[in-house]
Structure 1
Amino acid sequence: MSKMLSAAEWEQQRQEAMAAMPAVIAEVGLPKVLLPYQARAVSLLDSACPVLFVEKSRRIGLTWGLAAYAALRAGRQKAAGGMDVMYISYSREMTREFIDACAMWARAFDVAAGEVEETLFDQDDADKAINAFRIKFASGFEIMALSSAPRGLRGKQGVILIDEAAFVDSLKELLKAALAFLMWGGQVVVCSTHDGVDNEFNVQIQDILAERSRFAHLRIDFDQALREGLYQRIALVTGKEWSAAGEAVWRQDIIDFYGDGADEELFCVPSMSSGSWLTSPLIEARMTVKTPVLRLELPADYLFRSPRAQAALMEPFMDALSVQLAALDLSPQYAFGSDFARFVDLTTGSLMAVEQQLKRREVLAYELRNVPGDEQKLIAATVLKHVRTRLIGAAFDATGMGWTVAEDMGRKFGLREDPEGSGLVMAVKFSEEWYRLHMPPLKAAFEDDAIALIADADHLSDLRAVKLVRGIARVPALREGETGKKRHGDHAIAVALAHWASRQAWHEYGYEKVPMHGADNSNSVFAENTGDNLHLGSLGAGLVGRIL
């Protein structure tokens, strides 16, 4: 993660970033009053976003930015979208701090506001009255800071800000009460640092990432806040001169202060998050497809054998692949995912049909061990060629040598450079951010019975190998199995890639590439490799011809 950068590495990064900026932008104090991440949150809310969840680092000033929005919203007339704003947190000190910030902003915006006053709001029972702070505006609206008791929201309407939501007494009940505000045009803002993977706040975040919830989402960790000017603003307020070296030292001091809690407190990674990601009963319940998995393992001396001997070793697998492809129903759309390996691990491929009710059904899966790159490209191209007219996306592991397969498939079927591009092939370079964003939707598919996989004991083991590592689902470095046959969650990655590819934006075009007159296209998939020791012999003449 970013926190693993040393103070020296961080200093170098910041010096390079500042050197790349125009001088007028780099000067502290010249940017807008709100830092970029504060401005993004305010902009989202000002564009009528109904519900916003923000997972954030500690003490980055987001509450201060939200106070600006509160003052603007409560200060407006009703015709301009004005309404009451209610602030909830778990401590009296935080509520007072928020009201003070709102009062500062109100004066800065030259909004007519009364003095901050303390009052009591009666509940059904006078003994249950809750303490609150309030600012009244000339617009007739007000900002109120309330306790976290859900009953405090009854009979109220407007914008509700729940700060450090992971630490309130009953977030689930509080959200029930708060979301009722949406019926009459209100807004709900929920922001917090994390407090464990099982906390309701993290449950809500995972539902958003899994697309089971349509709420808006922002994530602001410590390093992002620093890159967007947090320490520069701190230096400005405290009268210090900013420098990359000073920021690096300050950053490291903060990380050292939080110690083992830095991941959760600063980098938005919930704690207490280790163990299997999917249970065996859940995985088995989704393994309802009876198609056999195709497996190919070539001998260590494969490349030293004659072309005819190589073709003989490949032929049974290619025949079985052709049989399975020929049996496919080509009416659904298809998505493909492939995890690359060459020597230690397996290359895996997963082809999924997207059914009418949007259930993803795995219709073909293969595993390759000790299979050279050109043969891997042949197999992948055979699959993609067969479903090309119904293919909406193919995602390839492009980490390390996997890039060569993704690149060659991109030449044949179009390489998509960005999620909105028009190519069919997407090259994925795995990162913690990729896993964080795209594994929750896959888990949701398992939980919602929106995916069906081929029943296979090894694939069950692969999916069980996915662990929560610092709150993020991924395959750990540890390999399982007997020597020489170890597995590394290989098929789980192919499934994740195929599922991800099936969810991307795609564009359909009504044309096929026409060969140039007189050109020899008999081996166009690998034509670029003829100078790189590609000698498939009869394999190239026979098997490659199947896909073109």
Structure 2
Amino acid sequence: MPDGTVMTQAEWEAMRLEAMDAIPDVIAQVGQTKALLPYQQGVVGLLNSVGTQVLFVEKSRRIGLTWGLAAYAVHRAGRQKGAGGMDVMYISYSKEMTREFVDACAMWARAFSSAAMAEEECLFEEGDHEGDKAIQAFRIRFASGFEIMALSSAPRGLRGKQGVVIIDEAAFVDNLDTLIEAAMAFLMWGGQVVVCSTHFGVDNTFNTNIQDILAERKPGHHVRIDLDQAITDGLYERICLIKGLEWSVEAEASWRQDIINFYGDSADQELFCVPSLSTGSWLAAPLIEARMTIDKPVITLDLPKDYLQRSKLDQNILMAPFYEQIEEELGKLDMDLRYALGFDFARVADLSVLPVLAIEPNMNRSEMLCLEMRGVPGDEQKKAVGMVMEHLRTRLVGAAFDATGMGWTVAEDMGRKFGLRETEDGSGLVWAIKFTEDWYRINMPPLKSAFEDGSLQLIKSDDHTSDLRVVKLLRGIPRVPTVREGETGKKRHGDFAIGLALAHFATRMRWSEYGYRPVPHRTAPHQSNNHSTNHSDGRLNMRPNHDDDRRQRGQFDGPLGARIRGGI
């Protein structure tokens, strides 16, 4: 409410009836195609697309998604079987919600002119055993032979049924895991399972299923709709249209703030899809230590604060051992494997960290190289990163760079040389990442899954264990807190955790050839006088005459330097 007071049940029911009665007028004004707002259209469109069998939607409270799902239910149940028609079952935790859903379906049926019989109450037997209780349900039957069935609890009677199952406000349903397990049987006959809810804690079954989908442990699609997205898509404008109010930017901002103020400390969970947080560490120490199985050195460099004031000779003396160690470790890498790297840039207070992950034939990831730099100027950091990328160029599938602050300059320079990627389907090896809550929310669960599944092996390091233990759930999202740990002047800030997250992200990048380097056409030694075989092992040191090379190529030969790079 604008004044911050809480509606009574009677006031809420009156408002809902008023809104429902106004919907036909809204459709008359905006048309059926625009009756649903963009975020509602997006969910309905996804459900109508081929391949969407399981959909989890985390959402803000009271944004009208149930109303959009009712439109989908009518479209689905109103179709003939040959057009994809099927029964739709709606389940929630309260009778009031099921009543509201059936009312919305009845309204949509009238708006779409679907041939539907009047809504009716019925008794739906829960289970096959004598003595099982019957529960009250609401149903709309269509001329297609299919029906919409709304249930007020989680019946075992789902067994043996088929069609679409919609579980609304799922986080508040009793025994949600059992209900989802029963609903998944609908997929065997081409049905769908739709689970949507406001959050109810980070450990709730609803949230753990979302995390499993994001971590690719379970199949399914995922959509997130918070209050701000709903407002951006026109939620308040639609409220004004229904209530006959005049819309303005100022009124919308005031309305939004009133709602946030009303929910107070619960606003993150109720309105912005952030489950109430747990304050423990994101990864347990025994789990981290169990994945640290690789005996390799972490290559570190800590330059004195007066490095830039020293002579060029002194600077070279300080840097030479570091570069030599990088070359030595690069020479030990198995070049039959593919690699990806992440780079978390820092210049003053924190460490720059560059972990390199090898992608094993069994798809496990193993950390084969790691650089740490403290107090190192940008040019020297770029040289070190460039050495690694140049050595791995032909086996590198992706590189994710921290592009916040000065980190953007390193990402940009590496992108000029190795190709800069801007979208998931773009080309280039270097993806400059500007961290957001969404990036952490989507990309940290797969990393945790790798720890839990044992598909990630790391270099043994106490410091790296500490960095990974720093990651906490902040507002329900895995993040590194702002507080640094360690001795004064050399504190760590979870630097390796961020670098590892970037590297693991890079192993999952879609990748393709972004260009080629000209290389000579290889010919037999007797075909050219421009080659020598002075190597003791008989290898050719080819220095071709390019005019001769062009003359020797056939019209169906590929371009010079082209090579095939596959995917994973």
Aligning the two structures, in what range does the TM-score lie when normalised by the shorter sequence?
0.7 to 0.9
1:387 and 2:392 equivalent?
A: yes
Q: What aligned pairs does 1:327-346 form with structure 2 within 5 A after superposition?
A: 327-346=332-351
Amino acid across the alignment from 1:37: Y
Q: What aligned pairs does 1:94-243 form with structure 2 within 5 A after superposition?
A: 94-123=97-126, 124-243=129-248
Return the match for 1:417 from 396, 399, 422.
422
Tell me the equivalent position of 1:39: 41
Question: How far has the Cα of 1:154 moved from its partner?
Answer: 2.0
Amino acid across the alignment from 1:264: Q
Return the match for 1:303 from 308, 329, 339.
308
* Structure 2 counterpart SS, 1:453: strand
Question: How far has the Cα of 1:152 moved from its partner?
Answer: 2.9
* Structure 2 counterpart SS, 1:34: coil
Tell me the equivalent position of 2:355: 350
Q: What aligned pairs does 1:39-58 form with structure 2 within 5 A after superposition?
A: 39-48=41-50, 49-58=52-61
* Structure 2 counterpart SS, 1:381: helix
Any conservation in 1 of the 2:428–2:514 contact (CA below 8 Å)?
Answer: no
Q: 1:411 to 1:127 in 2, by over 3 A?
A: closer
Larger-gyration structure (1/2): 2
Tell me the equivalent position of 2:413: 408
Amino acid across the alignment from 2:461: D
Flag structure 2 segments of 5+ consecutive residues without an equivalent.
Answer: 1-28, 521-568
Any conservation in 1 of the 2:277–2:474 contact (CA below 8 Å)?
Answer: no
1:80 and 2:83 equivalent?
A: yes
Question: How far has the Cα of 1:150 moved from its partner?
Answer: 4.1
* Structure 1 counterpart SS, 2:239: helix
Question: How far has the Cα of 1:148 moved from its partner?
Answer: 2.8
Identity among equivalent positions (%) equals: 68
Any conservation in 2 of the 1:29–1:236 contact (CA below 8 Å)?
Answer: no
Any conservation in 1 of the 2:347–2:375 contact (CA below 8 Å)?
Answer: yes
Question: How far has the Cα of 1:274 moved from its partner?
Answer: 2.1
Question: How far has the Cα of 1:514 moved from its partner?
Answer: 7.4
Show structure 1 runs of 4+ deviating over 4 A.
Answer: 27-31
* Structure 2 counterpart SS, 1:418: coil
Determine the C-alpha separation between the residues in 1 that align with 2:152 and 2:269: 25
Tell me the equivalent position of 1:316: 321
Flag structure 1 segments of 5+ consecutive residues without an equivalent.
Answer: 1-26, 516-548
Determine the C-alpha separation between the residues in 1 that align with 2:249 and 2:111: 31
TM-score (norm 1): 0.87
Q: 1:30 to 1:130 in 2, by over 3 A?
A: closer
1:478 and 2:480 equivalent?
A: no
Question: How far has the Cα of 1:126 moved from its partner?
Answer: 4.6
* Structure 1 counterpart SS, 2:117: coil
Q: 1:513 to 1:295 in 2, by over 3 A?
A: farther
Determine the C-alpha separation between the residues in 1 that align with 2:401 and 2:154: 49
Any conservation in 1 of the 2:277–2:473 contact (CA below 8 Å)?
Answer: no
Amino acid across the alignment from 1:51: V
Post-superposition CA distance 1:383-440 (Å, at most 9, x none): 1111111011111111001111111111111111222122111111111111111111
Post-superposition CA distance 1:156-215 (Å, at most 9, x none): 111100000000001100001000001111111000000000000000000111111220
Tell me the equivalent position of 2:453: 448
Determine the C-alpha separation between the residues in 2 that align with 1:58 and 1:46: 24
Any conservation in 2 of the 1:34–1:65 contact (CA below 8 Å)?
Answer: yes
Determine the C-alpha separation between the residues in 2 that align with 1:155 and 1:433: 39
Return the match for 1:398 from 394, 398, 403.
403
Tell me the equivalent position of 2:554: none
Post-superposition CA distance 1:329-382 (Å, at most 9, x none): 101111011101111000111011111111110000111010000000010001
1:284 and 2:289 equivalent?
A: yes
Determine the C-alpha separation between the residues in 1 that align with 2:518 and 2:269: 51
1:467 and 2:469 equivalent?
A: no
Indicate the structure whose relative CO is greater, using CA pairs within 8 Å and at least 6 residues apart: 1
* Structure 2 counterpart SS, 1:288: strand
1:91 and 2:86 equivalent?
A: no
Determine the C-alpha separation between the residues in 2 that align with 1:291 and 1:61: 55
* Structure 1 counterpart SS, 2:297: coil
Post-superposition CA distance 1:279-320 (Å, at most 9, x none): 000000111111110110111111111111111001111111
Determine the C-alpha separation between the residues in 2 that align with 1:443 and 1:150: 34
1:66 and 2:66 equivalent?
A: no
Determine the C-alpha separation between the residues in 2 that align with 1:232 and 1:514: 61
Q: What aligned pairs does 1:532-547 form with structure 2 within 5 A after superposition?
A: none
1:487 and 2:487 equivalent?
A: no
TM-score (norm 2): 0.84
* Structure 2 counterpart SS, 1:476: coil
Question: Root-mean-square deviation (CA), in Å?
Answer: 1.5
Amino acid across the alignment from 2:303: L
Determine the C-alpha separation between the residues in 1 that align with 2:160 and 2:205: 25
